[in-house]
A and B are shown apart, each in its own frame.
Chain A
Amino acid sequence: MFVLISCGHVHTSENQSPIRVHFDDTPYSMDAFQLMKAKRLFYGLIPLDLGTRACADCHYASYIDTLNWNPSAFAIAGSFSGRNAEELLQTVNAPPGKVLAEAHQGYNISREQAVLLQAYLEELHQHPYPERKRVITRLFLFLLANLLGLYALLDLLWLRRIPYRAVHLAILLGVTVYLLHTLIIEGINIGRQQGYAPEQALKFSHKIHSGDNKMDCQYCHNLAEQSKVAGVPEAGLCMNCHLLIVEGTRSGKFEIRKISAALETQTPIAWVKVHNLPDYVFFSHAQHVGVGKLNCAECHGPVETMDVVKQQESLSMGWCLNCHRTRAVDSGNAYYQHDSSFIKAIQNERLDSVQVAAMGGTDCMKCHY
């Protein structure tokens, strides 16, 4: 675990392959000095021009946890890598789309600057910055508490530097409570991802699609009623609309372009799965949406308000079972006719409904097999 904390990205210039950039037909080879210059240009340490913002102001070259509609430096690097620097010059100075044109108003980079920026993007593409490791405060605290408790114990028994026993006891009590609390809470949360909101391969906003444009969930997740999975929409489905809608009001053309690029390059888009269940759980959307007629939001929360989808519920077994214990089955479904006792009770109005649990909905092998 100490490796986890201390390991960092060691960047040496020896093992770098030289960066080569073309402008028209002129090749440029970049040495370390020029690359440093290029980086400073991107970050605005060498100003591009008076009155304009540096590239890095909008196109972050670091990971952030809020949604930035502008493409990140990495995304641009991925898109422009291997291309001619002239294209970069064109895109910056005379952008193709409306959103980008507004954002890039007043930019007029030179040929030399374009070459440098292209080189920086190439460099970034080859050596993207490592994702910054989260400082594991909880682990530090946990170990610190252990040490503190140990010291208090040692002092109480042998060292006797602190004169008052009450201090020892207070420390020990505090440490014990803290440690137990951490162990229990973290133990319970092992494997759970409530609040998980990962960055996706493209900046897709459910708020725009489902909230603003009132699209039905099942237009895209159209297997929810018939299959185990709800279905992540294929790029071809996106193109039903995005054949016409090629520019977003905030993201411009860059994000939407990724869809057609996926189709052109025959590379499917790799989405990050937000709602994960352990391997030993069998969950079927068809059972819940198709048969149980559940609303998507009951498990997925107000997705129509989320730019970045977040796991709303805990998806814990207790959470599942709560629902199975309280919800009634659809007694109108002809399948349930085999259970005559329950059908008769409903017909005789001795029961108004039967809970899922009463039909075996809390049996292990409903979900675990």
Chain B
Amino acid sequence: MKKLWTSLANYPPKNDPEAAKAVGTLVRRDPDWDEFLDDNTLEATTSRRDFLKLFGFSIATAAVAASCEQPVRKAIPYLIRPDEITPGKASYYASTFADGADYCSVLVKVRDGRPIKIEGNPLSAITRGGTSARVQASVLNLYDEARYKHPLISGKQADWEQLDKEVTASLDALNRAGRKVVLLTASLVSPSSLKLIEEFQQKFPVVAHCTYDAVSYSAMLEANQRVFGLELIPSYRFDKARLIVSFGADFLGTWLSTVEFTRQYAEGRSLTEGQQSISRHIQFESRLSLTGSNADERVLLKPSQEKQTLTALYNLLAARLGKEPYEDVQAPVNLDMLSRVLLENRGQSLVVSGSNEVSIQLLVNGINALLENYTTTIDLANPFLIKQGKDADMAGFVSDLENGNLGGVLFWDVNPVYDHPQGRMLKEAIEKLELSVSLSETCTETAAACRFVAPASHYLEAWDDAAVRPGSFSLAQPCIRPLFNTRQPQDSLLTWAGHTADYHGYIRQYWKENIYPVSGKVDFDTFWNTALRDGVFVTNPNPLLRPEFNTQALDEVLHAHPAVEAGFELELYEKTAIGAGRYSNNPWLQELPDPITKATWDNYLCVAPRDAAEQGWTDGDLLRIDDQITLPVLVQPGQMPGTLSAAVGYGRVVAGRVAEGVGQNVAPLIHPDNGIRQRWNVVASIQKVGQGYPIARTQTHTSMEGRDIIREASLREFLKNPSAGNEIQANAEIQRATLYQQYEYKGHHWGLAIDLNKCTGCSTCLVACSAENNVPVVGKEEVLRVHEMHWIRIDRYYEGSADQPRVYRQPVLCQHCDNAPCENVCPVAATNHSNEGLNQMAYNRCIGTRYCNNNCPYKVRRFNWFDYTMADSFKGNTRDPAGMTHDLKRMVLNPDVTVRSKGVIEKCSFCVQRIQEKKLEAKLENHPLADGEIQTACQQACPARALVFGDLNDKDSQVFRMFSDRRKYHLLEELNTLPSIGYLTRISHRGEKSILS
């Protein structure tokens, strides 16, 4: 049995001297913060006065109850009901989430005219119905009170006419004077917007368009330009790769098209359809990333060692292929075996790097070229069009701005004052400009510095299109009228350019002229309506391209080996939820635990356990870096000693009440190298300035040590025996004899199968569940008190040494046990069993004893310690860390799910509202329920398709097939709780012979 441990607080495992040596000291929470965690309510005693108060209150309540009246409720119908709206029934509109950093084709659930949930669009060939956490959470941004509600001129409310007049006059004046104006945008994937910008430039020739991405992929663009003459980011096929070698690229979490890559990766590791092999994944990295935690082998590598390692790998491959290797470089790890296996998988392997160093990306290109991966796993003919920002352009803009060469700037969807390393200087320069316009949706640091704010509409209020890859088009349509006096940026540009048409007309015209002709459809209206309904339109992709590889470009960089300074290397990374920080005012994202650290509401400095022991740092110590930024320490197993890592996207100053004051902005620590913003640098000084800072983590308190919770076997064992790693399951089945009467499900018996081979831990399901089920946001203080409310969590365990642990993860939600321990102990029968196998929870019956919570072996029940969403009308009950009680934010609530009040237990309901909805539809349409018709919110959102929900009584259902798989087991099945959730064992290459030893 494996010894699993969840955090350093319960590490090392008992009687394991080896492990104890690795860490040295035990990490304990600072006792000073006990006070912070405890508000002394536990010590309060019930006094005579309290009793009398209670007694008096009961009499008064009884008296008032005897005379109280119901509030008058109004039913206000439409004046004229639009045909497509049926009150009480949801409609779905296809749309597109594309913000320059992410792309996802979505379906928007609109109920009674308001968008309440985002679902993936299964028709999209790129995302196939998957979503990411940010996409799921984007619906809440619509109801963000930090959005601009009207245009602003010099910070004062203005109307559009006035703003248009002044901006146009200013643009005209600058145009006449021939002074340069820059339109700074994030990567635009909208072809019609790009054409619009061209037209805008024709009208105002002084306007230059510059693309700026908060997280730059400039090096990839440049490397491809140098070796192929193609300035692009190619498409990757992780599903076709048998061997994936990633150098710090977090392609499952934040790197490029994560939704697509997660699906491809999961497909490559799927074993449910009789596959006999899975891909092998090797990750070289300094911090423990989401991707690294899924890898078969993980190699610790400092960012400074990456180039050296890649050069060595290139040399080995070149030597093996009989080509001339570059000068001999010693790698920190033995790559001999790896180069052999890579060559065995020639054309079926993939080497990627997350670095933003041109030389590294050149080497990666060189290696992929040697491995003949172009055209098989890397597609240069169909590039990925997000992340088009070039750092050289941005550097030009910054120096122009600094030197006063600019007359004006228009900011569209960018926030350089916050996320550019020279943000402070930019702010001062912007304030001096003649014309500074922000086309921002919410208040940002950059918009605050601008004279004009022409507020943008949310993407759910706007028209848009996207061409994220040649031949893949998608449309975005408004699902609600703009809530505030806002206008989408394209409409603003059209107005300023003197166009009379609105952007809707413009986009239609663009599609009519450019996309409709290749569609082969007879009638444009039919084509348009079909594309709008589907959300996507696909034409043939470009034919494969095998361009000449310019080895000379490689030569130039390979001979230079700049020396690396000694000292801690700090890597700056994006968190899967917060990303570059654009959506940090979204409380769902702030409260989403990081898949690795399980920390919420903060960024911090991840420190290797060995470094922590040597330097005497513990969790919560405050370190001052380069005398600029102070961050708390989080001792992270699996971190490369000698390196630190910190997340960008925090420390927003102007962002709204949720984001402001959360974490620290590390953007000033980003160092450019040859004008390209690097992801890491060497820290000049570290100083301990404090201690005891509390980091709110959701998994320090759950320990399931020593039990067979996550079962794993290697592929070799699995091929020999499909029950490998799961042998004890048979035993558990035998021991199921009971004297008690068992439930008999005559109709449906709902079940959920979770394939641990596919789940990467991206945590999209958590946000989807929160959105679907009105799960409250509790805030940092309550997370510290272990009061988080997520109905589904992803448990993460470490095994082995703290320096190089193996990571295991498992989504845990209510297991809907047939022998549910919670049901027997409820004194009021508020939780009981349904005839379809659901473990029911009647909130209105619950009196809050929390016996069920105590008796649940899976700890999936959540208690409402406060009223977080204004469910009841008692004022003192509310606790609102994120504005979720405001009318505006409450618009996102799902009207089919009860908003829970203070004092009741809640938990996963298997999305019973979705079950009931589909059952009702089937009855109304007079047909039996088809398998797959009901999808839970977590299942629908999952980009990896790791969760499958269905009827276990239906022998043809996918969930039944998965339950019949010999990999299936139940969590803590020795307790005989008979859960309705089945897990499939994780099959990997772990435990097989290492390639890198």
Contact = CB atoms under 8 A, between A and B. Distances in A.
Interface stretch (A13-21, A40-48, A231-239): A231-239
Contacts of A236: 78-81
B898 interface: yes
A174 interface: no
Contact of B746 (A143, A193, A280, A341): A341
A22 to B, nearest CB: 31
Given A139-B66, A286-B924, A233 B77 contact: yes
Contacts of B748: 338
A279 interface: yes
Given A271-B77, A341-B746, A335 B65 contact: no
Interface string B67-89: 11110111111111100001111
A226 B76 contact: no
Given A270-B75, A272-B75, 9 more contacts: A142-B63, A187-B65, A235-B80, A272-B73, A334-B928, A335-B927, A337-B928, A338-B929, A360-B747
A11 interface: no
Interface in B793-808: none
B996 interface: no
A369 B909 contact: yes
A271 B88 contact: no
A256 B74 CA distance: 20
A86 B836 CA distance: 70
Task: Describe B's contact surface by its main secondary structure.
Answer: loop
B844 interface: yes
A177 interface: no
Interface of B: 59-60, 62-70, 72-81, 86-89, 746-748, 832, 834-836, 838, 840-845, 871, 896-899, 909, 912-913, 916, 919-920, 922-924, 926-929, 951, 953-954
A338 B951 contact: yes
Contacts of A231: 77, 87-88
B923 A335 contact: yes
A278 B842 CA distance: 13
Smallest CB-CB A-B distances: 4 pairs: A228-B88, A236-B80, A360-B835, A227-B88
Nearest to B112: A229
A106 interface: no
Contact of B953 (A276, A291, A338): A338
A192 B53 CA distance: 28
A268 B79 contact: yes
Question: Size range of the interface on A?
Answer: 35 or more
Contacts of A190: 65, 68
Interface in A133-160: 134, 136, 138-139, 142-143, 146
29 contacts: A1-B63, A142-B63, A146-B59, A186-B62, A223-B88, A225-B924, A226-B924, A227-B88, A229-B87, A235-B78, A268-B79, A271-B74, A271-B75, A273-B73, A278-B844, A279-B899, A280-B844, A280-B898, A285-B88, A290-B923, A291-B920, A333-B923, A335-B928, A339-B747, A360-B834, A365-B838, A365-B840, A366-B916, A368-B843
A50 interface: no
Contact of B78 (A196, A268, A360): A268
Given A231-B77, A286-B920, A368 B844 contact: yes
Interface of A: 1, 134, 136, 138-139, 142-143, 146, 182-183, 186-187, 190-191, 193, 196, 198, 223, 225-229, 231-237, 262-263, 266, 268-273, 276, 278-280, 282, 284-287, 290-291, 333-335, 337-339, 341-342, 359-360, 363-366, 368-369
Contacts of A187: 62, 65
Nearest to B915: A365
A273 B79 contact: no
A135 B845 CA distance: 33
B702 to A, nearest CB: 27
Most chain B beta-carbon neighbours within 10 Å: one of A187, A229, A278? A229
A56 B929 CA distance: 63
Contacts of B832: 364
Contacts of A191: 70
Nearest to B81: A234
A229 B748 CA distance: 27
A290 B924 contact: yes
Contacts of B88: 223, 227-229, 231, 284-285
B826 to A, nearest CB: 11
B919 A335 contact: yes
Nearest to A139: B67
Contacts of B928: 334-335, 337-338
